[in-house]
Structure 1
Amino acid sequence: MSSSPEPRPRAALLQGVDRAALVVALTVRLRENGVRTDLDAARSLARALSLSLPRSLGELYWTARVCLVRHRGDLEAFDAVFDAAFGDADPVGEQLSPPPAPVRTRGERAPDGGPEDRGAVGGGLPWATLPDTDPSPGGEDDPRALPELLPSALEALAEAPFDRLSEGEVRQLGRWLEELRPQLPRRRGRRHSPGPGGRRVALRATLARARRTGWEPLELVRSAPVPRPRRVVALCDVSGSMRSQAAAYVHLMRAFALIAGTEAFAFGTRLTRLTPLLAHGTAEGAVARATGAVQDRFGGTRIAASLRELLASHHGSAVRGAVVVVASDGWDGDPPEEMAAVMARLRRRAHRVVWANPRAAAPGFEPSTGGMAAALPFCDALVPAHTFAALRGVVAAVAAETASRPRRTG
């Protein structure tokens, strides 16, 4: 006598879904529609989903309702938002019909509860799925067209010139570049700490140790200055000749802005400070804000005038003792004599000057432009910057300890 096979358990709804993004998006949607929910309620829902995933829309509804709804008057708005978000599809993309009436029975709901138009409470799904590992068949405008690349694929893509990369690839490589946290060169700080090689006597530490010997200072405790990282000042050329490199260089400045004590500027015909725009928020938002703040991008170039404006402003003190990075091809509308004069002032004030030129990687490159030829004698390093892999060389040049002046590296 054959026994009927046992029914297979139903898979959980939220498998492969970023539950944190789901909870945050659903909480924001509820708050936008008047539901009085707070962060503690969102944390309760996130914890509940981490302990046990719901296996039906009914379980998901009651879990979210118990965690997020604290007031009886918010039930109608909560039901409307939940229906608009989860009434048509589930997080894994399978079309689902609404759950049976016994599961979704809610005595508190009005007979005509919720608006008829779902767009009033926000249609679609308020979750974000984890990135797919397979390329999407969609076009370039499809947000899923760029999958999460493996490290080997990123390394290969980093060798491609900037003009061959799409905007999505530039953003992804920009995030990859931000993961590089170099050990910046250090300078002597004003603070002191006990150390064997110090020249100053640490009076307090010496007296504390003298308590063991009847207040006779038999051993002097020395103190040495505490080294601190040097400041980095990054300047990016956003003129017309740098159109294909500008976005990548803004990502480079964003990577430097994540390091403490970094000042970022963009210049075309005038100087624009980007430090407060790049140091906070996500990479995409920071780059978008910085790009929107530069009003003279893709126009002319006045490198000497922009450097002179920096040195004359109250931000010029940030250059003193700092590592200055200038990302430009050297095409300048100002006379070479002005470039040589302002670069001499910059070199006297800065610790090192690193010039990143996208054309320096060409075989047999020589600084033929007047601006680049005038600036080169005052540069400590001239590095190519035509790919994201080359930008890592720029980061390595900034982290170098030496202050000598080689004509070219890389």
Structure 2
Amino acid sequence: MRTRPEITESPLEETAFVRAEKRRGRGARSNASGRHEAYARVSFDDGWHDGTASQGAGGAQAEHHEADENDIPRLRTTVTDEHAKTIITRNISPDIPFDRSINPYRGCEHGCIYCYARPSHANMGLSPGLDFETRLFAKPNAADLLRKELARPRYRCRPIAIGTNTDPYQPVEKDRQIMRRLLEVLDEASHPVTIITKSALIGRDLDILSSMARRNLVKVALSVTTLDHRLSRHMEPRASTPGRRLQAISALAKAGIRTGVMVAPVIPSLNDHEIEGILAKAYEAGAREAGWVMLRLPLEIKDLFAEWLAEEAPDRADRVMGLVKNMRNGRLYDTRFMHRMRGQGAYADMISKRFRLAVKKLGFHMGLEPLDCTRFVAPRQDSQQMSLF
């Protein structure tokens, strides 16, 4: 449970589509209302911004238009503190390899257009589009809550996953350091953790991670979607570059930390040809575990991704969406467990076989020993009462 933070009025215009000058450096092209809202925003161009409207005002309109083009403010990232009541989220999904997770932040400035977490922003009364990557929520009391929850007498230790929804090492973490404080609590309690990220900022915490690694308490995976810097810049604009992610893999591996790579998501006809190349580069850098996930387009993501494709890859847009439907029984998404992550059919089977052959050829280790849960010691709570032992 958590309290819903106060939301200020969105600085975005009340139309779905947002002009390129204003959203430069962002992933989504629009800011349509979330599915829970009573009214939907619609885009309508009356011609005033491009000089095609009536010229009844003489030259004044053209002069005003020129000033607008030069002075359009860029979208800025805002962060609102959210004082959660609990921090560990539980799940019983049969196709997810963990039963508990932590998300230090809501929303993600990385702006990955394919991000399956985008629809969660609709639960805050915000748009899964540009709001998701510009209007963030931080949980400053996360470490205190974690300490409290781990100290409960009935708590039973199992690995906690971090980075499964939004990235714990997105740019705001550099200043907020919520993830680092969480790691400090986990390290103190000898509690195992798995981390997935697209950010080289994880290298900041090598001291804690290496300490935990010596007790088999941590494993980290870097998500590498493409080796093409241009594609990465447009598809995941504020995430670390592919090269920096590979450098992070190398640094983690050299520090003795179990390190893997996630080829995720695999996007038909866009980055699917890179599977073997990504795995080879990651193995060379030091990754020894690997996984993959097929593109998922639930809820609002299907429209956001289609808008992005139409602008960034119009020559392949129809083919990409056609292959997605081919794997999902003619739909853009299949919510069924065991199908949503992989898809089905000839194309999905081909991707799966290619991945298995590549990891076998390169020598990735699959099915390594689990993290150690036997070392867990409940953290001490801050209290004026002294311990009896």
Would you call these one fold, judging by a TM-score over 0.5? no
Category of TM-score, reference length = shorter chain:
under 0.3
Higher percent of residues as helix? 1
**Which structure ranks higher in relative contact order (CA pairs < 8 Å, sequence separation ≥ 6)?**
2
TM-score normalised by length of structure 2: 0.27
TM-score normalised by length of structure 1: 0.26
